[in-house]
Structure 1
Amino acid sequence: MTSVHAQPPEPLELPARLTAPPRLTQRHPWLLPAAMAVHRARRRTRWARDSWSGRVAWATHRTADDLPVRLVQHGSLLLRELDPDQMHLQHNKVTNLRLAARRLDGIVIGPGESLSFNRVVGNCTRRKGYVDGMRLSNGSAEAGVGGGICQLANLVHWMVLHSPLTVVERSEHSFDPFPDRGRVLPWGVGCSIVYNYVDLVVRNDTDHPFQLRAWVGDRYLHGQLRTDERPPHSYRVEAREERFLRSEGRVFRRNEVWRRVIDRRTGEQVGDELVKSNCALVVYEPGPDVEVIDLD
């Protein structure tokens, strides 16, 4: 994360990645399986090299005993109201989240260790009990084995943003698929997960251990981030510079996610950090109450 002070707002233009010509795999989808195999092989090689060299100490220890301080707690609604023909994917998502949460629950990130969501949860296959859930691909919801586990990564990322842990790697979704109806968290704090090369990686640069707890309830996916001693700062995460932009007939959404750092002892703000600048293609028609700025 980068600490930024009193920067002027960015100009109203789209990032180059959104105006660039389509990628090779977008023009020729039949190449996608081969491209994914190459990406996965590279990631496995990187994992092995990092472990062998000692450059990265991966978190592997877990315990059912809670660390004494509950630093953050959050719950996210399991089922969204979508088209009736997609609701079975929402229910299947709950099965996938339950399996993935069990893999993550109790993991301890010790001082100097890093947590890889993909390494801990693993590949979500039918053999492990995962089913077809809702997965976002090129802006549309479709069935895919293990679909929906991004919700667990979103939960972990949100809790980490309220802690002194460092986000090393995180990929956002390239599309804004749903209107803000019922939204609890700011847009732009979610994570995209594709085993094993699109990952959420968190590093513990403190002298204290942190423990993740995760479980599926009746209506919510629950999570806690626990530690052994309450840190001196708390954090407040918010979205700023929210805008909808129209270019060449397409609508894009952009914002900035910021994190305010608060001294627990005095209540004073001691830092203001830019977490991420987001820009994504909107795949729904914004409502009449949403201002869309025309860039053409």
Structure 2
Amino acid sequence: MKKTLLKYFPFLYQWRVQQLIWNRHLRNLNPNIAYARGRRPDAFNFVCKKHKSVLRRVLANSDPILQENKIKNLNIALEHIDGIVIHPGETFSFWKLIGKTTKAKGYIEGLMLSQGEVRTGTGGGLCQLANMLFWLALHTPLEIKERHHHSFDIFPDDRRVIPFGTGTSVFYNYVDLRFYNPTHLTFQYKIMVSEEFLEGAILCNAEPERMYKVEERNHRFYQNENRWYRGNEIWRLEISRQDNKLMNERLIIRNNSEVKYMNLNFESA
């Protein structure tokens, strides 16, 4: 019923989006939240985690130009993210740093995921940056305060090196990505675009007492009412640096996403 109404009355969707945007603006006025804003050009010495992701992927029925546009959008966004530091007690907010992606700022059309479909929009492609930030944060004691996942598995794996379902969805400004720093340490993001990759690292001003590893469990494809789904669990493990002893493990994500690409001879689990 909801999708039918939006199909015939698209202005209702735009009205709802604007309502959500203004609601988030009001919530952002909360004086009890100290947002991370400071940046430093020099990097901290201790590396918690490094990662790189492919910029140009094989995406069926999508214009390759949109991937080049994505790279331009990433470079603009990185002007606000690279070098950002998260001091004790501060909250990192994706949209508080980047702001609205407009043509006036230089953003152009790129791929976006919306309501389970691949679309185009100004500033499209920034989900790849959000994915990077989230994956790196999982390897630190930063607390995930807000993270939204895609309810659909849109594209088949293409050179995937991290577990399925560790990505995140962002949409200005009410679908945000936020971390809180509960420690006495200060963390820093260093992110860059190279010729083939989005490359990133999360650094610290001192060595944390624990190491953090991310582990996938119970991955499977399964069928339900003639539709295919993909499910798994993502666990974060805390390991002592002193003796490599497992100190704690916690389930942080449980994924069950509808598969939208072609049936690849999946077998029910």
Could you state the TM-score of these two structures normalised by the residue count of structure 2? 0.95
On the 8 A contact 1:115/1:202 being kept in 2, the answer is: yes
Poorly superposed stretches of 4+, deviation over 4 Å:
21-29
Change (3 A) 1:22 1:238: farther
Secondary structure, counterpart of 2:28 in structure 1: helix
Cα distance in 1 for residues equivalent to 2:175 and 2:3: 17
Cα distance in 2 for residues equivalent to 1:29 and 1:198: 23
AA paired with 1:291? Answer: E
1:73 to 44, 50, 55: 50
Cα distance in 2 for residues equivalent to 1:135 and 1:128: 18
Deviation at 1:181, TM superposition (A): 3.4
Deviation at 1:84, TM superposition (A): 6.4
2:33 to 56, 78, 92: 56
Map 1:281-296 to 2 at 5 A: 281-288=258-265, 290-293=266-269
Change (3 A) 1:28 1:110: farther
On the 8 A contact 2:93/2:177 being kept in 1, the answer is: yes
Map 1:131-150 to 2 at 5 A: 131-150=108-127
1:259 to 233, 236, 244: 236
AA paired with 1:42? Answer: N
Cα distance in 1 for residues equivalent to 2:62 and 2:132: 26
Q: Does 1:45 align with 2:11?
A: no
Which residue of structure 1 aligns with residue 252 of structure 2?
275
2:104 to 127, 147, 159: 127
Deviation at 1:85, TM superposition (A): 4.7
What is the number of equivalent residue pairs in this alignment?
268
Secondary structure, counterpart of 1:99 in structure 2: helix
2:185 to 195, 208, 212: 208
Deviations 1:177-211 (A, max 9, x none): 11123211111110100000000000000001111
Cα distance in 1 for residues equivalent to 2:220 and 2:35: 38
Secondary structure, counterpart of 1:81 in structure 2: coil
On the 8 A contact 2:58/2:158 being kept in 1, the answer is: no
Cα distance in 2 for residues equivalent to 1:245 and 1:84: 25
On the 8 A contact 1:102/1:215 being kept in 2, the answer is: no
Which residue of structure 2 aligns with residue 34 of structure 1?
15
2:75 to 98, 102, 112: 98
Cα distance in 2 for residues equivalent to 1:286 and 1:47: 43
Cα distance in 2 for residues equivalent to 1:244 and 1:29: 36
Deviation at 1:285, TM superposition (A): 2.7
Map 1:171-210 to 2 at 5 A: 171-210=148-187
Deviation at 1:292, TM superposition (A): 2.7
| Farther-moved stretch of structure 1 (131-140 vs 22-31) | 22-31
Q: Does 1:247 align with 2:224?
A: yes
On the 8 A contact 2:227/2:258 being kept in 1, the answer is: yes
Identity %: 38
Which residue of structure 2 aligns with residue 225 of structure 1?
202
Change (3 A) 1:28 1:260: farther
Give 5+ residue unaligned stretches, structure 2.
none
Change (3 A) 1:122 1:25: farther
Secondary structure, counterpart of 1:143 in structure 2: strand
Cα distance in 2 for residues equivalent to 1:89 and 1:109: 32
AA paired with 1:62? Answer: R
Secondary structure, counterpart of 1:292 in structure 2: coil
Deviations 1:203-256 (A, max 9, x none): 000001111111111111111111111111111112111122222222122211
Deviations 1:119-160 (A, max 9, x none): 011111111000001111233322111110010010000000
Which residue of structure 1 aligns with residue 84 of structure 2?
107
Cα distance in 1 for residues equivalent to 2:160 and 2:195: 19
| Farther-moved stretch of structure 1 (36-45 vs 81-90) | 81-90
Q: Does 1:164 align with 2:141?
A: yes
Cα distance in 1 for residues equivalent to 2:233 and 2:9: 32
AA paired with 1:257? Answer: I
Change (3 A) 1:253 1:28: farther
